[in-house]
């Protein structure tokens, strides 16, 4: 078993790089544990996110490249949105490209003197001046980067930012291989701050497996593959994909509409997964190493001439983007949502945050909290062109209002008013208005994401409002997800990759010692992540859940603010306890 990980560190300020062996895999496992370990080494909790020395880390895990759906990458960085240590996860080809480049992590520090592209492979490293790409959108940047580095096609991963990342929008995304993203908490702004327009990782080496392990590896691989492809639960991700959730959540009164002023609307049928599939779906595609293929690509036709002249473009869609730039903005036509998704993509904005921020701005304009002098467009729910205009202003930070909105809806509301209806739970909410447990889980959660723990599922499955049971469920579920994210597996496969299955996979690759103590090590990684988040400024006692989240009604009835407060306080105490008991790693 490799007890260390080979990582590549590149300092953009000096242009120097070094390869390091990071020991201690028995403590940090890989993935989000490795990213946390590397942040402890390279990061400085006292420095702001914009400090050039702060690292941008991309980490994979011990199973990456060996088993299906172990296809994600963890990015670790200090978030320009929260100022705290953050993670974002993305798929695409990056995981496999990193594995085949021979590195388990890439750490980028410093700031290039001119806009640059970093090219990494097993036998190559280049910091290339690409100043001519600065100002280009995500699409043209991708096209030009593919021309700049035409080798290793199919084994190469291309990351890039758009104007939003260059401008430092606090929720700028990094685009990965066109259809995947490090979306939330501003990884794109971190790249922009480093003058890093693109990163190309070439998976140009091969992987070997010791002869004596091949038989057991083949057997385990086949068994895992069958478990994944034979499951009905995975089939749904390929068929309609996550947009399948629109109709059921709307029926449960849990789908946010018009800045969460409503939780259901009959118009859902025109933007549902079924409607997208029937009218717009062109094809499904997949991250490298995934037999499921949940990425849904729609066909967007845009008429530009009177003689039936059309542009056509391929735009990916998912549940969360349809919620954020769809129901949250009151949009009632699927093709118009696709148009907005394409715009957000082009500018390199996190689609959830920009949609929810614009929903707040729309209500703020309706209520007279701001005027068109600020919004520069007549924002109104279910109108396409004003939102297209606003997305451009948001990405380019056209005036003081959009500058503030680019730091988040809560920040803009603090300046202009309207904090009660800013739908922010740590960052702009994801699309699950399921109830108190979810609102607390996202507001206090490590990534401020619906993926931190199953709060949304807990709301749907548990009728009881019991604080102790709920906190235990959130913490336990987070630990199970961390175990998968240390490998780094797709969370859609977490029912297949149980602790037992992960132990078997680790075992056949020779990581027997890791397999034996997996649950305890995942708990240690969980505590360490919280310790880093708290060390960089997170104080769970200061978390506020805006009034809008107390005002809604779901299928369970009205919210219970007293329960929500009590749950938040109990969760905060548990987080503080975990952080205080985090293990020491790099000092040992
Ligand atoms: S299920 Fe979807 S997100 Fe997960 S690895 Fe496969 S294609 Fe990527």
Tell me the average pLDDT across 374-396: 98
Q: What confidence tier does 587 reach under pLDDT thresholds 50, 70, 90?
A: low
How far CA 271 is from CA of 107, 121, 434, in Å, comes to 41, 42, 20
Q: Whose CA is nearest to atom 2 of ligand 1?
A: 294
Q: Whose CA is nearest to atom 8 of ligand 1?
A: 287
Tell me the average pLDDT across 515-524: 93
Q: Which residue has the tokens 């998912």?
A: 318
The span from the CA of 30 to the CA of 330, in Å, is 41
Q: Would you give the DSSP letter of residue 243?
A: G
Residue-wise pLDDT for 135-156, tens only, equals 999 999 999 999 999 988 889 9
What's the topology of domain 5-202? Aldehyde Ferredoxin Oxidoreductase;  A, domain 1 (3.60.9)
How far CA 572 is from CA of 423, 441, 541, in Å, comes to 20, 10, 6
Q: Which residue has the tokens 């739908």?
A: 423
Instruction: Show the CA angle centred on residue 401, arms to residues 399 and 404, nearest 5°.
Output: 110
Q: Collect contacts of 388-394 with beta carbons under 8 A, ≥24 apart.
A: 388/339, 388/340, 388/343, 390/358, 390/361, 391/340, 391/343, 391/344, 391/347, 391/349, 391/354, 391/358, 392/343, 392/347, 394/164, 394/169, 394/347, 394/349, 394/354, 394/357, 394/358
Q: What is the pLDDT of residue 586?
A: 67
Atom of ligand 1 nearest to the CA of 293: 7
Tell me the average pLDDT across 102-119: 98
Largest CA distance in the chain: 72
Ligand 1: centre distance to CA 71 (Å): 8
Ligand 1: centre distance to CA 69 (Å): 7
Query: Which ranges of 325-466 does DSSP label H, i.e. alpha helix?
Result: 334-347, 351-366, 372-375, 384-396, 400-405, 409-416, 436-444, 455-461
Q: How many residues does the chain have?
A: 588
Atom of ligand 1 nearest to the CA of 237: 1
228 lines ligand 1 (CB under 6 A): no
237 lines ligand 1 (CB under 6 A): yes
**In percent, how much of the chain has pLDDT > 90?**
92
**Half-sphere exposure for 567 (CA within 13 Å, toward CB):** 31
582: Cβ contacts below 8 Å, ≥ 6 apart: 524, 527, 528, 530, 531
pLDDT at 588 over 60: no
pLDDT at 354 over 90: yes
The span from the CA of 79 to the CA of 65, in Å, is 28
Mutate-to-test residue for ligand 1 from 239, 295, 481, 488, highest number of ligand atoms within 8 A of CB: 295
pLDDT at 1 over 80: no
Residue-wise pLDDT for 558-569, tens only, equals 999 999 999 999
Q: What confidence tier does 455 reach under pLDDT thresholds 50, 70, 90?
A: very high
Cis peptide before 448 (omega within 30 of 0): no
96 lines ligand 1 (CB under 6 A): no
Residue-wise pLDDT for 323-347, tens only, equals 999 999 999 999 999 999 999 999 9
The span from the CA of 522 to the CA of 39, in Å, is 17
Mutate-to-test residue for ligand 1 from 71, 93, 239, highest number of ligand atoms within 8 A of CB: 71
Domain spans in the chain, listed from the N-terminal domain onward = 5-202, 235-405, 436-494+517-581
pLDDT at 196 over 90: yes
Tell me the average pLDDT across 539-554: 97
Q: What is the pLDDT of residue 236?
A: 87
pLDDT at 457 over 90: yes
What's the topology of domain 235-405? 1.10.569
Residue-wise pLDDT for 247-277, tens only, equals 999 999 999 999 999 999 999 999 999 999 9
In terms of Cβ atoms closer than 10 Å to its own Cβ (0-12, 13-18, 19+), residue 306 is exposed
| Predicted structure pTM score | 0.97
């Amino acid at each position: 078993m490799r007890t260390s990980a080979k990582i590549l560190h590149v300092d953009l300020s000096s242009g120097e790089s070094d390869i390091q062996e990071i020991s201690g895999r028995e403590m940090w496992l890989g993935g989000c544990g490795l990213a946390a370990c590397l942040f402890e080494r390279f990061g400085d909790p006292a420095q702001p996110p914009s400090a050039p020395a702060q690292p941008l880390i991309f980490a994979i895990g011990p199973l990456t490249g060996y088993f299906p759906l172990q296809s994600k990458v963890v990015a670790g960085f200090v978030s320009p949105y929260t100022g705290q240590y953050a993670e974002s996860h993305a798929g695409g080809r990056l995981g496999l490209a990193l594995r085949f480049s021979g590195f388990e992590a890439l750490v980028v520090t410093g700031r290039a003197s001119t806009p640059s592209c970093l090219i990494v492979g097993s036998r190559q490293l280049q910091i290339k001046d690409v100043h001519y790409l600065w100002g280009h959108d995500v699409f043209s940047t991708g096209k030009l980067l593919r021309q700049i580095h035409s080798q290793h096609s199919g084994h190469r991963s291309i990351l890039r930012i758009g104007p939003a990342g260059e401008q430092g929008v606090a929720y700028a995304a990094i685009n990965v291989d066109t259809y995947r993203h490090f979306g939330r908490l501003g990884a794109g702004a971190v790249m922009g701050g480093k003058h890093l327009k693109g990163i190309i990782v070439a998976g140009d080496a091969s992987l070997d497996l010791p002869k004596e392990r091949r038989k057991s590896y083949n057997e385990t691989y086949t068994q895992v593959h069958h478990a994944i492809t034979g499951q009905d639960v995975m089939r749904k991700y390929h068929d309609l994909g996550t947009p399948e959730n629109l109709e059921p959540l709307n029926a449960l009164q849990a789908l946010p509409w018009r800045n969460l002023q409503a939780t259901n609307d009959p118009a859902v049928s025109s933007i549902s997964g079924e409607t997208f599939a029937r009218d717009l779906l062109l094809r499904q595609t997949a991250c490298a190493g995934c037999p499921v293929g949940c990425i849904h690509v729609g066909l967007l036709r845009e008429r530009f001439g009177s003689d039936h002249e059309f542009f056509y473009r391929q735009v990916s869609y998912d549940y969360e983007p349809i919620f954020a730039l769809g129901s949250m903005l009151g949009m009632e036509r699927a093709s118009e949502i696709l148009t907005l998704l394409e715009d957000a993509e082009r500018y390199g904005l996190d689609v959830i945050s920009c949609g929810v921020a614009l929903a707040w701005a729309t209500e703020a304009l309706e209520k007279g909290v701001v005027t068109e002098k600020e919004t520069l467009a007549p924002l109104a729910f279910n109108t396409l062109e004003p939102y297209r205009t606003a997305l451009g202003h948001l990405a380019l930070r056209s005036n003081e209002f959009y500058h503030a909105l680019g730091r988040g809806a809560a920040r803009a509301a603090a300046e202009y008013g309207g904090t009660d209806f800013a739908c922010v739970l740590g960052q702009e909410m994801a699309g699950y208005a399921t109830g108190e447990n979810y609102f607390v889980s996202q507001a206090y959660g490590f990534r401020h994401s619906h993926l931190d723990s199953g709060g949304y599922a807990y709301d749907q499955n548990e009728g009881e409002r019991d604080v102790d049971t709920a906190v235990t469920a959130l913490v336990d579920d987070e630990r199970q997800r961390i175990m998968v994210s240390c490998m780094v597996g797709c969370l859609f496969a977490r029912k297949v990759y149980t602790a037992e299955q992960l132990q078997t996979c680790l075992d056949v690759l020779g990581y027997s010692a890791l397999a034996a103590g997996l649950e305890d090590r995942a708990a240690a990684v969980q505590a360490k992540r919280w310790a880093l988040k708290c060390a960089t400024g997170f104080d769970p006692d200061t978390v506020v859940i805006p009034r809008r989240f107390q005002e809604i009604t779901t299928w369970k009835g009205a919210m219970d603010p007293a329960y929500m407060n009590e749950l938040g306080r109990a969760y905060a105490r548990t987080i503080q306890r975990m952080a205080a008991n985090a293990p020491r790693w790099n000092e040992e």
